[in-house]
């Protein structure tokens, strides 16, 4: 027969396991460098980070340039500015990102990349708005 001490001691561990938060999900943004000035990048990163935290959606964890495809000589140059983001809930975070990008006038060609149900998808900003949940190559 288990003692009251053994029973009491194991109860909090069971409770902690049941209420543990889900692990964060990963989203990354790609914004075309040719259409985005450096001060705009810094302001956008700060705004996104602040809004994600204010709304309890997540946080920007890193940012930097990403290379584009090789040119005729085989050289790859920076073509995108990328932000890596950890989020708590994918749907609300995607909505918030689209709203902020629209509000700051982010350029056409912005991409929000994410994984849902094991599928790699993206939301793409075009001149007439967003196309949502497109498969990525």
Domain membership of residue 9 (yes or no) is: no
Q: Is 71 helix (H, G, I), strand (E, B) or coil?
A: coil
pLDDT at 8: 46
Residues 6 or more apart whose Cβ sits within 8 Å of residue 15: none
pLDDT in tens, 14-49: 555 556 677 889 999 999 988 777 767 888 888 999
> How many domains does the chain contain in total?
1
- Percentage of residues in the chain having pLDDT higher than 90: 66
Domain membership of residue 13 (yes or no) is: no
Mean per-residue pLDDT over the chain, rounded: 86
Backbone torsions φ then ψ of 125, nearest 5 degrees: -90, 120
**DSSP states along 4-50:** HHHHHHHHHHHHHHHHPPPPPEEEEEEEEGGG--HHHHHHHHHHHHH
Domain membership of residue 6 (yes or no) is: no
Give the number of other Cβ atoms within 10 Å of residue 44's Cβ: 22
Domain membership of residue 63 (yes or no) is: yes
Domain membership of residue 17 (yes or no) is: no
Domain membership of residue 10 (yes or no) is: no
Most confident option among 2-6, 51-55, 104-108: 51-55
Domain membership of residue 7 (yes or no) is: no
Q: 9-23, 59-73, 105-119: which range is least confident on average?
A: 9-23
| CATH, residue 69 | 3.30.70.260
E strands in 34-110 = 58-67, 78-87
Q: Is 52 helix (H, G, I), strand (E, B) or coil?
A: helix
Range of the domain at 124: 24-135
Backbone torsions φ then ψ of 124, nearest 5 degrees: -120, 125
How far apart are alpha carbons 114 and 85 in whole angstroms?
10
pTM: 0.79
Domain membership of residue 14 (yes or no) is: no
Give the mean pLDDT of 78-95: 95
Which pair of tokens denotes residue 120? Answer: 């790699």
């Amino acid at each position: 027969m288990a003692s009251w001490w053994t029973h009491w001691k194991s109860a909090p561990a069971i409770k902690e396991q049941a209420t543990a938060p889900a692990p964060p999900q990963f989203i990354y943004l790609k914004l075309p460098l040719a259409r985005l000035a450096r001060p705009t990048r810094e302001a956008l990163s700060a705004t996104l980070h602040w809004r994600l935290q204010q709304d309890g959606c997540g946080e920007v964890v890193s940012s930097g340039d990403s290379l584009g495809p090789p040119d005729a000589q085989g050289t790859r140059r920076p073509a995108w500015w990328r932000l890596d983001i950890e989020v708590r809930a994918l749907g609300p975070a995607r909505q918030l990102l689209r709203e902020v990008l629209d509000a700051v006038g982010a350029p056409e060609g912005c991409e929000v990349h994410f994984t849902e149900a094991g599928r790699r998808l993206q939301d793409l900003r075009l001149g007439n708005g967003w196309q949502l949940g497109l498969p990525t190559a």
